[in-house]
Amino acid sequence: MSVNLRIPGPTPCPDDVLQAMSRQMINHRGPEFAAIMERITSSLKRAFKTDNDVLTLTSAGTGAIEASVVNTLSPGDRVLVVSIGVFGDRYADIAQTYGANVTKVAFPQGAAADPAVVADALKKDASYKAVTLTHNETSTGVTNDLGALAKAIRGVRPDILILVDAISSLGSVPLPVDEWDLDVVFTGSQKGWMVPPGMAMVSVSERAWKAADEARIPRYYFDYKKAKSYLEKGQTPWTPAVSVYFAMDVALQKLEQEGLENIHARHARLGQFTRDGVKALGLKLLADERVASNTVTAVLVPDGVDGPALNKMMRTEYNTVLAGGQGELTGKIFRIGHLGLVSQEDLQACLDALKQALPRVGFSLVGAAR
């Protein structure tokens, strides 16, 4: 019986994507790799809906956050970090680590950022160089209204940098980079792209390139300028995760065959299916449903139930791997990922397993739909 991996990343991968990774190595400075780079870059531009430069980095998502900081900021720059959870907080920590002067605007767990509150913060201080946003917060199962946030920010500061963590959103939910006038937007291969971890993909606007010319935080491995100059030759500055590039090449072809609108509709449908199924069991969601994520659902652990014990039982007895809570939500929620390679049958199996496991850890299904 195969494991039902229901975490928000790394996500399951199609067989042909995994098979692509078993290919023999090639010269990463040669013409075959250059052709792969060209296909990947062109496809990513279509997925990002951007004419901006799109770069690939051999890195996990956190490296992409760090890269966005070191390429656009200088020590002492004022940064407004909008946080709705653990990964928004991580953005603040990384910016502070590199000497940025960070002000954090935080919203309650399970809520989205209020564009008016963010705009008011910018009105009070004209010295901010950048705003950082998390599009989809996997720690709470919330998706920010990124378009509305960007519009509110541009209404106050047309010139400010907007840096976006779209690690768990791009490739699964709508994010038209150019339409929303976003400067740095990055994602990771291990999420909706159906590829193992190891590649970060980032779009860089003209405004961001100007900032890179002025940025004084030291950088080397994550230097956007180096990545851009090598991309012009069909290469990466440093040895890339070649196998992950093989996999991404195949995965992007599959995603383009499905079509962006179909992908977005599929995730919306499966997100709603998961939320409805969870509620039918008598469980409660952490997120306000109006802003609930279509890539991951955060579920409150019922009173009297040991969350880690439930997760362990699901894993060891029902072959279903759930994600636990993070930070302040450790032990208080569990999370069901539904992005990338996932079907309604996978999610129904997860819900069926929960229905069997919950009474065994002390939760009564009385009153829940059977």
**Each residue of 150-207: pLDDT tens digit?**
999 999 999 999 999 999 999 999 999 999 999 999 999 999 999 999 999 999 999 9
Q: Could you write out the DSSP letters of every residue in 181-198?
A: T-SEEEEETTSTT---S-
Q: What is the pLDDT of residues 256-309, one digit of tens each?
A: 999 999 999 999 999 999 999 999 999 999 999 999 999 999 999 999 999 999
Measure the CA–CA gap between 91 and 242, rounded to whole angstroms: 28
H or E stretch at 82: strand 78-83
| pLDDT of 125 over the 90 cut | yes
Residue with tokens 């496991």: 357
Q: What percent of the chain has pLDDT over 70?
A: 98
Question: Mean of the pLDDT values across residues 347-366?
Answer: 95
Architecture per CATH, 16-257: 3-Layer(aba) Sandwich (3.40)
| pLDDT of 368 over the 60 cut | no
Q: What are the sequence ranges of the domains in the chain?
A: 4-9+260-361, 16-257
Fold entry, domain 4-9+260-361: Aspartate Aminotransferase, domain 1 (3.90.1150)
Question: Mean of the pLDDT values across residues 43-69?
Answer: 98
State the CB neighbour count (10 A cutoff) for residue 136. 31
| pLDDT of 370 over the 90 cut | no
Measure the CA–CA gap between 165 and 185, rounded to whole angstroms: 6
Backbone φ and ψ of 126, nearest 5°: -85, 5
| pLDDT of 369 over the 60 cut | no
**Matching CATH topology for 4-9+260-361 and 16-257?**
no
| pLDDT computed for residue 367 by the predictor | 55
366: alpha, beta or left, given left = phi > 0 and alpha = psi -120 to 50?
Answer: beta
| pLDDT of 366 over the 70 cut | no
Query: What's the predicted TM-score (pTM) here?
Result: 0.97
Q: What percent of the chain has pLDDT over 90?
A: 98
Question: Mean of the pLDDT values across residues 67-83?
Answer: 98
Mean pLDDT, all residues of the chain = 97
Q: What is the pLDDT of residues 304-347, one digit of tens each?
A: 999 999 999 999 999 999 999 999 999 999 999 999 999 999 99
| pLDDT computed for residue 365 by the predictor | 84
| pLDDT computed for residue 23 by the predictor | 98
